[in-house]
Amino acid sequence: MTQSSPVFNNLTVSKGEKLVWGRRTYVMGIINVTPDSFSGDGMGDDVPAIVNLALRFQEEGADILDLGAESTRPGHQPITADDELKRLLPPLEAVTAAVNLPISVDTYKSRVARQALSAGACIVNDIWGLKADPSLAEAAAEVGAGLVLMHNQDGTQYSDLLPNILASLENSVSAALDTGVKKENVIIDPGIGFGKTPEQNILVLQNLARLKELNCPLLVGTSRKSTLGLLLGLPPNQRLEGTAATVALAISGGADIVRVHDIKEMVRVCRVTDAVVHGWRPNGWKQS
């Protein structure tokens, strides 16, 4: 049975604040419950360590936690829904019990999404934008969950990059709405690093404002990605400043959520950028 109100209208985030699009940028913390994350932060099956990380992210100011049990790094080996659930459910249930933040699950499989939503998640983050498993939209619609639809494709060939991405995302959004997902529950993601060359990733970042044409909140994930590594000549664990630059630029381009590994540092980047872009001010701010 679908909830009577859109999920994002009812969510409270860091420190119990009501989520309101456009007020400031929201920080989604990445928790990889995998043994093979590209960024070297995969937690495997160590549930206490995962819970401790979730609690630290909450303390550092994360607004949403995104748990993923299947690596999507270049060259990754897909896993079955059974294996994904075996990895995902124990830490998901433990994190849900430990923190006071909304939980997103990073999956493109409808069976995994259904069980994760039953276990406490309230958002599904689909890296294939319903292309891999269209019935995932039904899982979200049935319980009124939030749904992140990311642009992705096999290969990097485009006739016209930005219009092609826009058209693909529009198709994903339409498919979700046709299945019963409320428009207010949909977020779009241009898919930096997915089905795109480094030059194409940069071009997308330069043109994020184009994506606002779809009239959906925008999530951007650049954290530690290979394009930054190529630009800086650095491994994933040394891409903090590059990530910070792209987070600030993404906010300026219209991002509503940034998905990151380094919560404390990126919360600080967001607050300063939000002060300029959104007019955000901290509680107790006094103009001298």
Neighbours of 80 (CB within 10 A): 12
Domain that holds residue 65: 7-191+259-264
pTM recorded for the entire structure: 0.94
Residue 286, burial from CB neighbour count under 10 angstroms (0-12, 13-18, 19+):
exposed
**Angle at the Cα of 11 (from 8 to 13), degrees rounded to 5?**
120
166 in a domain, yes or no?
A: yes
CA-to-CA distance for 16 and 5, rounded, in angstroms? Answer: 19
280 in a domain, yes or no?
A: no
pLDDT attached to residue 41? 55
Count of domains forming the chain: 1
Per DSSP bridges, beta strands 123-126 and 103-106 are parallel
CA-to-CA distance for 18 and 9, rounded, in angstroms? Answer: 8
DSSP 287: -
282 in a domain, yes or no?
A: no
18 in a domain, yes or no?
A: yes
CA-to-CA distance for 176 and 170, rounded, in angstroms? Answer: 10
pLDDT-derived band at 2 (thresholds 50, 70, 90) equals: very low
Q: What digits encode the pLDDT tens for the residues 67-125?
A: 999 987 666 678 999 999 999 999 999 999 999 999 999 999 999 999 999 999 999 99
* SS3 call for 23: coil
Q: What digits encode the pLDDT tens for the residues 263-285?
A: 999 999 999 999 999 999 998 89
pLDDT attached to residue 72? 76
Q: What is the mean pLDDT of the chain?
A: 94
107 in a domain, yes or no?
A: yes
34 in a domain, yes or no?
A: yes
Sign of the torsion formed by the C-alpha atoms of 37, 26, 188 and 243: negative
CA-to-CA distance for 113 and 19, rounded, in angstroms? Answer: 23
Annotated catalytic residue: which of 114, 131, 239, 259? 259
pLDDT-derived band at 288 (thresholds 50, 70, 90) equals: low
pLDDT at position 204 over 60 = yes
Active site residue 111: no
Active site residue 271: no
Residue 195's alpha-carbon distances to 20, 70, 157, in angstroms, are: 31, 18, 8
242 in a domain, yes or no?
A: no
97: CATH = 3.20.20.20
Annotated catalytic residue: which of 183, 225, 281, 286? 225
- Enumerate helices (H) and strands (E) in the chain, giving the number of each: 10, 8
224 in a domain, yes or no?
A: no
- 178 contact partners, CB below 8 Å, separation of at least 6: none
